[in-house]
Amino acid sequence: MAPSAISPTTQDYKLSIEDLKSVDHSLGATLNNGPGLSISKQLIAQALKTRVDSIDPDTCDLGDDDAFFVADLGEVYRQHMRWKKNLARVKPHYAVKCNPDPRVIHLMKQLGMGFDCASMNEIETVLGMGVDPSRIIYAQPVKTKAYMRYAARSGVKQMTFDNLDELYKVKQLTPDAELYLRILTDDSASLCQLSNKFGASTNDTGDLLELARKLDLNVVGVAFHVGSGASDPQAFLKAVQDARFVFDQAEALGFTMHTLDVGGGFTGDASFEAMAAVLSDALDAYFPPHVRIIGEPGRYYVATAFTIACSVIGRRTVNDATLGTTSYMLYMNDGVYGNFSCIPFDHQKPTPRVLKCAADPINFLYDTHTSGYDTPSMTEYSIWGPTCDGIDKIPDTHCFAQVMNIGDWLYFEDMGAYTKCSATPFNGFPSAHDTIYVCSEPGAASLLEL
């Protein structure tokens, strides 16, 4: 079966903004970051307060005072609307590794998204949610043979490669796969660089394509990844230019190329619009409309949707006789071996805020900010996790107006990316924690039938 004779079989799955308007009449406000955000704060506050007010650390059952998440699925929905507005041509395939939360995946399924999976377990999770295998890309350039056999049995055909040996594995195990040649990119401006592990140089792509042709394999597209948490929009421009070069190489060899995978790297901060504009312009300049474009966003969708609350389990007073100051070491019930794994693995710096302080007259302090006219004395804290390891620490020192004590609570926002997915049970502490779900967007609630 010659590669040039194979027609595209990948479904063009999507849910347009017009489709979404039919279930969410507040869509205009959502796209402009309107009332949904303030509603989100109210719902998160209510969920946090209800949970922490129900806990007495002196009498609660085992596990009741563990750290827990509050996830606003409406925030995931708002990020999708933002994506559709700024990258309408790019069909998102959520990077499951970032946060495999089942309700997040279910919402994304309902939104018509695809999924980027890197292992058998991730594929199995997504298929178990009822997602059609044609909506999955096995975006792992170097795959375990047993996992490849599972993908083939499950009908998952889209997958990436970047080396000669992988092509022989594909020929042996999944000869009818729809292959994407992953190319090397400049990811020097990203939080987590991937080019030191994956990606073929344009000096090598010709040899890879020639072997794929010789093995009668079906290369249908090119993939790249500018690194997780990218910050340089020009990295996308150069990657798109290189992808065009490889497309032309492949087509000259008789391959029918129909898809470009622009990978991940997207952040949900204010830089997204500028990044999206550069990418959109590059795509329009180098790839005609008939070429299908997909992406693999992860943190972009979920980072800001999750808030974690942690209780203070210990306190140590530190007196400096020379300066005449008193500071404290706070020990909380989660740390870098748990959900704060984002610190060593994802280079994040989570910011602690006071959630509940028994000594404060207000007591419950979520989203409470001191007036600029008030200048309360501040107390300095270092914050530590529960394990015996000295590296189990939240970076830097932090100052609060309150004097915190055992049984009080802290919270951290923007904890949805590379947190609970990489938590460990080190020292016997729990690696799984409860998640309370809220939904600040009527469209998301409708899709989820809440």
Q: Scanning the structure block, which residue is given the tokens 């951290």?
A: 412
The answer to whether 228 and 194 have CB atoms below 8 angstroms apart is yes
The catalytic residue among 60, 98, 357, 388 is 388
Distance (Å) of CA 124 to CA 30, 117, 138, 170, 375: 33, 9, 11, 20, 54
The Cα–Cα gap between 174 and 323 comes to 69
The residues, any chain, with a CB within 8 Å of residue 243's CB and separated by 6 or more, are: 183, 222, 224, 260, 286, 287
The Cα–Cα gap between 264 and 300 comes to 9
> Which residue in 115, 135, 89, 94 sits closest to 287, CA to CA?
89
The answer to whether 181 and 150 have CB atoms below 8 angstroms apart is no
**Would you put residue 123 in left (φ > 0), alpha (ψ -120 to 50) or beta?**
alpha
The residues, any chain, with a CB within 8 Å of residue 390's CB and separated by 6 or more, are: none
The answer to whether 363 and 357 have CB atoms below 8 angstroms apart is yes
What is the CA angle 443-105-230, rounded to 5?
A: 95
The Cα–Cα gap between 53 and 46 comes to 10
Catalytic residue status for 388: yes
Beta-bridged to residue 382, according to DSSP, are 329
Structure tokens at 89: 């041509």
> Which residue in 84, 95, 165, 168 sits closest to 137, CA to CA?
95
The residues annotated with a catalytic role in the active site are 388
